[in-house]
Structure 1
Amino acid sequence: MNHNNVFLWEESIPGGCHWSGILRRGLTLRLTDTSGGANAAVLFYNQEEKLERYNMADTLKAQHTFRLAKGHACFSDMGRIFCCITDDTVGWHDTACGLSDSKLIQQKYGVARYQEHRNQMYRSGLDGMLIELGKWGLGMRDIVANINFFSKVIANAAGELTFHCDHSKVGDYVDLSFEMDTLVVLTAAPHPLDTRPTYQPGDIHLAAFVTPIHAVSECKQIAENARGLHNTYRLYHPCGGAL
């Protein structure tokens, strides 16, 4: 981990809980798995026009990948880039498996309601997302395919998916360097394919710092990413110009 970064703010998200906030362009958000085996389900929206949101299909096909890792970018449905992954100790982040819902959580782990269990209740990823989206005037229709940071899922030749339990270790982190003013919505609920028999979602630590110069240089090496970054630049500099 680079200890030279000066964190502007930090926040801890307990396993199963949720968070949302605005990340300005020029800032990097570091997600850290503080307990091992965590899952951070994340969605991105343009802070100024929230109908523009993360697009899983364009992100994957533009970069010819099934997973995300260092050097990859997260595209919007307008051909722009929310952020680049500029550092990553995990090496594989799931893009295809979506969110857990209340029915799935109940089937796998049983029932633990807030009335009886308070902060130890069993929360689903979908419920956490909807709570956070509601704070910004958004709802169910605004939920699209999300990224599951820290989780690894592979597909075999028959298309069957396998979840790798405890893929992420204590202290693993991923840096998201933002090129667009972005609403970030996050839930730390279990991955929908998590194989652990008990409800034990890992904690996530958030920290923001100023993006280092040339941090996105590796991301630009992919031609589609360079074009996406140029499109993003023009959003804030309508008269054109070079990146």
Structure 2
Amino acid sequence: MLVIRDTHGQQAVDFLCYDADKPSDRYSATNTVKVQGNVYVGKGTVLYADSGKPLLKVTEDTVGKHDTIYGCCSNPNNELRYGVKTTESCYTNFTQELQKHGMDVTSIVPNVNWFMSVPVLDDGSAGVAEATTEPGSLIKLRAECNVLAVLSNCPQMHNP
């Protein structure tokens, strides 16, 4: 069981996962969204790999919905959105951790953002909203196979 807890409230945790026995079979946001018919992840959601293999299942969630579409922050993205160059980023954190497992930047795919609020409006627009998580908010995930989980406590300072 993997437990991710927002100890202080209003913090996002960027998350990737892989079949540890076959790391090329990685989390697929599109498979996860298509199978459940919802762009948000919450209790009961299964996170699927590219192959369709179940990787993890959300067994407990005190928040209710988590983002699957906004991806991780990165230097190029921060420059485009905020005009800020060379900042700490989840992309950099992911890159450093994946290298320890013999993987490179091609292994970084659209990720889950635990505790991050990204409302999708009727007109299709989306954006980061102020997080509503309280200290102690948590998500529990049960591995459905041997999983490599990679987390980044998001260092983004420019989102609401």
Q: TM-score, normalised by structure 2?
A: 0.91
> Shift in Å at residue 189 of structure 1?
1.5
SS of the aligned residue for 1:153 comes to coil
8 A contact 2:88–2:156 mirrored in 1? no
* Counterpart residue number, 2:30: 57
Percentage of matched positions with identical amino acids: 27
Q: Provide the C-alpha distance between the structure 1 equivalents of 2:158 and 2:56, rounded to a whole number of angstroms.
A: 26
- C-alpha distance in 2, partners of 1:157/1:171? 31
The residue aligned with 2:126 is 161
Number of aligned residue pairs: give it.
Answer: 159
Moved over 6 A (4+): none
Deviation (angstroms), 1:77: 1.1
- Partner of 1:61, secondary structure, is helix
For structure 1, the 5+ residue unaligned runs are 1-27, 114-121, 196-243
Q: Residue 94 of structure 2 aligns to a residue in which SS?
A: helix
- Which residue does the alignment assign to 1:42? 15
> Is 2:143 the counterpart of 1:178?
yes
Measure, in 2, the Cα distance between the counterparts of 1:157 and 1:193.
25
Distance in 1 between the 2:76 and 2:134 partners? 28
1:224 equivalent in structure 2: none
Indicate the SS of the match to 2:132. Answer: coil
Q: How much does 1:192 deviate?
A: 9.1
**2:115 maps to 1:150:** yes
Aligned residue type for 2:96: I
User: 1:98 aligned to 2:63?
Assistant: no
Three-state SS of the structure 1 residue aligned to 2:38 is: coil
Letter in 1 for 2:58: I
Distance 1:190 1:149 in 2: 14
Secondary structure in 2 matching 1:59: helix
Q: Residues of 2 paired with 1:69 and 1:142: CA distance? A: 24
1:64 positional shift: 0.7
Point out the structure with max Rg over C-alpha: 1
- Show the counterpart of 1:200: none
SS class of match (1:90): coil
TM-score if structure 1 supplies the norm length?
A: 0.61
Specify the code of the residue in structure 1 equivalent to 2:44: G
